[in-house]
Amino acid sequence: MTIDLTRFAALSFDCYGTLIDWEAGIAAVLAPWAREQGLDIGDEELLLAYAAHEAAAELVTPAPLYPDVLAEAFRRTGAGLDREVPETWARRLADSVPDWPAFPDSADALARLAKHYRLIIVSNVHRDGFAGSNRHLRGDFAAIITAEDVGGYKPGDRHFRALDAALPGLGVERGQLLHVAQSLFHDHVPARREGLPSVWINRRHDRPGWGATPEPGEAFSYDLEFPSMGAFADAVGQAFPSR
Protein backbone atom coordinates (compact mmCIF):
# COMPACT_ATOMS: atom_id res chain seq x y z
CA MET A 1 0.00 0.00 0.00
CA THR A 2 1.24 3.50 -0.81
CA ILE A 3 0.39 6.60 1.22
CA ASP A 4 1.24 10.25 0.69
CA LEU A 5 3.73 11.11 3.43
CA THR A 6 3.25 14.83 2.83
CA ARG A 7 -0.36 14.80 4.05
CA PHE A 8 0.63 14.19 7.67
CA ALA A 9 1.45 16.87 10.23
CA ALA A 10 2.50 14.66 13.14
CA LEU A 11 4.17 11.32 13.82
CA SER A 12 3.52 9.32 16.98
CA PHE A 13 6.30 6.92 17.94
CA ASP A 14 6.70 3.86 20.01
CA CYS A 15 10.10 4.27 21.67
CA TYR A 16 11.45 0.92 22.93
CA GLY A 17 12.15 -1.36 20.01
CA THR A 18 11.69 1.46 17.49
CA LEU A 19 14.07 4.18 18.69
CA ILE A 20 15.79 2.51 21.64
CA ASP A 21 17.29 -0.97 21.33
CA TRP A 22 15.41 -2.52 24.24
CA GLU A 23 16.42 -6.05 23.25
CA ALA A 24 20.10 -5.14 23.63
CA GLY A 25 19.32 -3.43 26.95
CA ILE A 26 17.39 -6.40 28.33
CA ALA A 27 19.91 -8.96 27.08
CA ALA A 28 22.75 -6.99 28.69
CA VAL A 29 21.24 -7.93 32.06
CA LEU A 30 19.68 -11.33 31.34
CA ALA A 31 22.76 -12.82 29.66
CA PRO A 32 25.20 -12.41 32.59
CA TRP A 33 22.50 -13.62 34.98
CA ALA A 34 22.03 -16.73 32.81
CA ARG A 35 25.78 -17.41 32.85
CA GLU A 36 25.82 -17.04 36.62
CA GLN A 37 22.97 -19.55 36.82
CA GLY A 38 24.79 -22.03 34.59
CA LEU A 39 22.24 -21.78 31.78
CA ASP A 40 23.48 -22.69 28.32
CA ILE A 41 21.15 -20.32 26.47
CA GLY A 42 21.76 -17.60 23.89
CA ASP A 43 20.40 -14.05 23.84
CA GLU A 44 17.63 -14.85 21.34
CA GLU A 45 16.36 -17.74 23.46
CA LEU A 46 16.46 -15.56 26.56
CA LEU A 47 14.49 -12.79 24.85
CA LEU A 48 11.90 -15.29 23.64
CA ALA A 49 11.57 -16.70 27.16
CA TYR A 50 11.18 -13.17 28.54
CA ALA A 51 8.66 -11.76 26.04
CA ALA A 52 5.39 -13.26 27.29
CA HIS A 53 6.31 -12.61 30.93
CA GLU A 54 6.66 -8.86 30.41
CA ALA A 55 3.30 -8.70 28.63
CA ALA A 56 1.70 -10.65 31.50
CA ALA A 57 3.30 -8.41 34.15
CA GLU A 58 1.81 -5.37 32.42
CA LEU A 59 -1.71 -6.71 32.94
CA VAL A 60 -1.56 -6.33 36.74
CA THR A 61 -4.16 -3.93 38.19
CA PRO A 62 -3.51 -1.25 39.29
CA ALA A 63 -0.79 -0.84 36.71
CA PRO A 64 2.72 -0.91 38.22
CA LEU A 65 5.45 1.45 37.07
CA TYR A 66 7.64 0.06 34.31
CA PRO A 67 10.66 -0.71 36.53
CA ASP A 68 8.42 -2.96 38.63
CA VAL A 69 7.11 -4.61 35.43
CA LEU A 70 10.70 -5.35 34.40
CA ALA A 71 11.59 -6.81 37.78
CA GLU A 72 8.49 -9.01 37.88
CA ALA A 73 8.98 -10.15 34.28
CA PHE A 74 12.55 -11.15 35.15
CA ARG A 75 11.37 -13.15 38.17
CA ARG A 76 8.78 -14.94 36.04
CA THR A 77 11.35 -15.64 33.36
CA GLY A 78 13.64 -17.20 35.95
CA ALA A 79 10.84 -19.36 37.30
CA GLY A 80 10.03 -20.49 33.76
CA LEU A 81 13.66 -21.53 33.32
CA ASP A 82 13.74 -23.19 36.77
CA ARG A 83 16.25 -20.68 38.08
CA GLU A 84 16.28 -18.09 40.86
CA VAL A 85 16.39 -14.37 40.16
CA PRO A 86 17.85 -12.69 43.25
CA GLU A 87 16.42 -9.27 44.04
CA THR A 88 19.72 -7.61 43.15
CA TRP A 89 19.38 -8.95 39.60
CA ALA A 90 15.69 -8.03 39.37
CA ARG A 91 16.47 -4.45 40.41
CA ARG A 92 19.40 -4.32 38.00
CA LEU A 93 17.00 -4.84 35.10
CA ALA A 94 14.43 -2.51 36.64
CA ASP A 95 16.96 0.32 36.86
CA SER A 96 18.59 -0.27 33.47
CA VAL A 97 16.19 1.62 31.15
CA PRO A 98 18.21 4.88 30.96
CA ASP A 99 21.25 2.82 29.93
CA TRP A 100 19.54 1.06 27.02
CA PRO A 101 21.22 2.21 23.80
CA ALA A 102 19.54 4.10 20.99
CA PHE A 103 19.70 2.48 17.59
CA PRO A 104 22.53 4.16 15.67
CA ASP A 105 20.14 5.84 13.22
CA SER A 106 17.49 7.06 15.68
CA ALA A 107 18.77 10.50 16.71
CA ASP A 108 19.62 11.56 13.16
CA ALA A 109 16.32 10.24 11.78
CA LEU A 110 14.32 12.11 14.44
CA ALA A 111 16.17 15.35 13.65
CA ARG A 112 15.38 14.96 9.95
CA LEU A 113 11.75 14.07 10.56
CA ALA A 114 11.28 17.06 12.88
CA LYS A 115 11.78 19.32 9.83
CA HIS A 116 8.44 18.10 8.47
CA TYR A 117 6.32 16.87 11.40
CA ARG A 118 5.50 17.36 15.05
CA LEU A 119 6.87 14.35 16.96
CA ILE A 120 5.00 12.55 19.75
CA ILE A 121 6.11 9.69 22.02
CA VAL A 122 3.56 6.98 22.95
CA SER A 123 5.46 4.57 25.16
CA ASN A 124 5.15 1.69 27.64
CA VAL A 125 7.57 3.25 30.09
CA HIS A 126 7.73 5.62 33.06
CA ARG A 127 8.54 9.32 32.79
CA ASP A 128 12.01 9.08 34.35
CA GLY A 129 12.91 6.16 32.11
CA PHE A 130 12.02 8.06 28.97
CA ALA A 131 13.86 11.16 30.19
CA GLY A 132 16.97 9.00 30.46
CA SER A 133 16.42 7.54 27.01
CA ASN A 134 15.92 10.96 25.45
CA ARG A 135 19.45 11.89 26.46
CA HIS A 136 20.46 9.36 23.78
CA LEU A 137 17.78 10.41 21.27
CA ARG A 138 18.00 14.20 21.71
CA GLY A 139 14.44 14.38 20.35
CA ASP A 140 12.29 17.50 20.27
CA PHE A 141 8.90 16.03 21.15
CA ALA A 142 5.68 18.04 21.12
CA ALA A 143 4.03 15.56 23.53
CA ILE A 144 5.17 12.56 25.58
CA ILE A 145 2.60 9.98 26.65
CA THR A 146 3.84 7.21 28.95
CA ALA A 147 2.30 4.24 30.74
CA GLU A 148 2.78 6.18 33.97
CA ASP A 149 0.61 8.99 32.56
CA VAL A 150 -2.26 6.78 31.40
CA GLY A 151 -2.17 4.06 34.07
CA GLY A 152 -1.88 1.14 31.65
CA TYR A 153 0.14 -0.51 28.93
CA LYS A 154 -0.15 -1.09 25.21
CA PRO A 155 -1.66 -2.98 23.44
CA GLY A 156 -4.45 -1.51 25.54
CA ASP A 157 -6.18 1.60 24.23
CA ARG A 158 -5.35 4.14 26.97
CA HIS A 159 -2.28 5.54 25.20
CA PHE A 160 -4.27 6.10 22.02
CA ARG A 161 -7.15 7.76 23.88
CA ALA A 162 -4.61 10.13 25.45
CA LEU A 163 -3.08 10.69 22.04
CA ASP A 164 -6.47 11.69 20.62
CA ALA A 165 -6.97 14.09 23.52
CA ALA A 166 -3.56 15.70 22.96
CA LEU A 167 -3.95 16.39 19.23
CA PRO A 168 -6.17 19.53 19.38
CA GLY A 169 -3.67 21.27 21.65
CA LEU A 170 -0.96 20.54 19.09
CA GLY A 171 -3.02 21.92 16.23
CA VAL A 172 -3.13 18.49 14.58
CA GLU A 173 -6.24 16.83 13.15
CA ARG A 174 -6.75 13.08 13.58
CA GLY A 175 -6.38 12.54 9.84
CA GLN A 176 -2.96 14.21 9.93
CA LEU A 177 -1.44 11.65 12.34
CA LEU A 178 0.77 8.72 11.32
CA HIS A 179 1.88 6.12 13.90
CA VAL A 180 5.42 4.69 13.65
CA ALA A 181 6.44 1.56 15.53
CA GLN A 182 8.35 -1.71 15.52
CA SER A 183 6.04 -3.88 17.63
CA LEU A 184 3.11 -5.46 15.83
CA PHE A 185 1.81 -6.70 19.20
CA HIS A 186 2.05 -3.45 21.18
CA ASP A 187 1.34 -0.89 18.45
CA HIS A 188 0.04 -2.10 15.11
CA VAL A 189 -2.74 -4.17 16.66
CA PRO A 190 -4.20 -1.17 18.60
CA ALA A 191 -3.46 1.22 15.71
CA ARG A 192 -5.65 -0.97 13.51
CA ARG A 193 -8.40 -0.91 16.15
CA GLU A 194 -8.13 2.89 16.30
CA GLY A 195 -8.15 3.29 12.51
CA LEU A 196 -4.70 4.92 12.53
CA PRO A 197 -2.44 4.63 9.49
CA SER A 198 0.92 3.25 10.54
CA VAL A 199 4.50 2.56 9.49
CA TRP A 200 6.23 -0.67 10.53
CA ILE A 201 9.90 -0.17 11.41
CA ASN A 202 10.91 -3.79 11.01
CA ARG A 203 14.06 -3.75 13.12
CA ARG A 204 14.22 -7.58 13.10
CA HIS A 205 14.01 -7.86 9.31
CA ASP A 206 17.32 -9.74 9.18
CA ARG A 207 16.62 -12.07 12.12
CA PRO A 208 14.04 -14.83 12.58
CA GLY A 209 11.51 -14.88 15.38
CA TRP A 210 9.85 -12.24 17.53
CA GLY A 211 12.62 -11.53 20.05
CA ALA A 212 11.39 -9.72 23.17
CA THR A 213 8.02 -8.92 21.58
CA PRO A 214 5.12 -11.40 21.79
CA GLU A 215 3.44 -12.59 18.61
CA PRO A 216 0.60 -10.23 17.60
CA GLY A 217 -2.24 -12.61 18.48
CA GLU A 218 -4.84 -10.28 16.92
CA ALA A 219 -5.37 -8.67 13.54
CA PHE A 220 -2.88 -5.97 12.65
CA SER A 221 -2.12 -3.83 9.64
CA TYR A 222 0.41 -1.24 8.50
CA ASP A 223 0.63 1.00 5.47
CA LEU A 224 4.39 1.13 4.90
CA GLU A 225 7.36 -0.99 6.02
CA PHE A 226 10.99 0.06 6.46
CA PRO A 227 13.94 -1.85 7.94
CA SER A 228 15.12 1.15 9.97
CA MET A 229 14.32 4.67 11.06
CA GLY A 230 17.02 5.91 8.72
CA ALA A 231 15.27 4.32 5.72
CA PHE A 232 11.96 5.87 6.79
CA ALA A 233 13.55 9.31 7.16
CA ASP A 234 15.09 8.91 3.70
CA ALA A 235 11.65 8.19 2.21
CA VAL A 236 10.17 11.23 3.96
CA GLY A 237 12.97 13.41 2.63
CA GLN A 238 12.28 12.21 -0.90
CA ALA A 239 8.53 12.82 -0.52
CA PHE A 240 8.82 16.47 0.49
CA PRO A 241 9.93 19.16 -1.96
CA SER A 242 13.48 20.34 -1.42
CA ARG A 243 13.76 23.18 1.07
The catalytic site residues sit at 14
Q: What are phi and psi of 80, to 5 degrees?
A: -65, -25
Q: Is 216 exposed, middle or buried (0-12, 13-18, 19+ CB in 10 A)?
A: middle
Report whether the peptide linkage leading into residue 32 is cis, meaning its omega lies within 30 degrees of zero. no
Q: Is 195 exposed, middle or buried (0-12, 13-18, 19+ CB in 10 A)?
A: exposed
Distance CA 211, CA 46 (A): 9
Residue type, 73: A
Beta-strand runs (E) in the chain: 10-13, 118-123, 143-146, 177-181, 198-201, 224-226
DSSP, collapsed to helix, strand or coil, labels residue 11 as strand
